[in-house]
Amino acid sequence: DSVKLANNATIIKPVLTGLSPVSGYPNTNVKLIGENLSLSNNSNVYVYFGSTSVSLNSVSPDSLKVKAPWVTPGSYSLSVNYGGFSVPCPDTFTVLEPKITSISPASGVAGTSVIINGEGFGAGNSINVYFGNLYATVMSSTDTKINVKVPSGITSGSWIVKVNISYHELSS
């Protein structure tokens, strides 16, 4: 839609036509596709996953790029708020549940290096790992692997391994 004003100025309304991808883990790069999406001042532009606002990573006339937020897994309506008005996206985005798929090795003493395999950990996120209530030092992490050391003070027995990522808890 556009509106022509008497002095030949034209106001062009942004339009969203879709997004890519339509599902992913928190921190997934999401591209909202449309027309007339960049304005002269993008400082008042907010993208919402349901009621959760996220920051813009990049803006062009035909796309907006953001990262999926750390929210409860499920399907979310997306919209872009341009200060005074909101533009809905015709597609929804499904936030997938990050998960632990395996831990290797399955046993070891304090100081043993352990790899936690999974999906959706989000490389570069703030990750804390616990064996029971004992904090384990994270040596490195990627989107699918977390390398930790078995904490000192651990005793023999079975322990639940908990991974906290951006206030979201996973356990084995």
Mean pLDDT in consecutive groups of 10 residues from the start of the chain, 172 residues: 63 89 94 86 82 91 93 94 88 94 92 94 82 93 93 90 86 79
Dihedral of the alpha carbons of 122, 124, 130, 131, in degrees to the nearest 10 = 70
pLDDT for 151: 94
Find the largest Cα–Cα distance for the chain: 81
168 vs 126: CA distance, rounded Å? 11
pLDDT for 4: 60
Entry pTM = 0.79
Instruction: Reduce the DSSP state of residue 83 to 3 states and report it.
Output: coil
Instruction: Reduce the DSSP state of residue 38 to 3 states and report it.
Output: coil
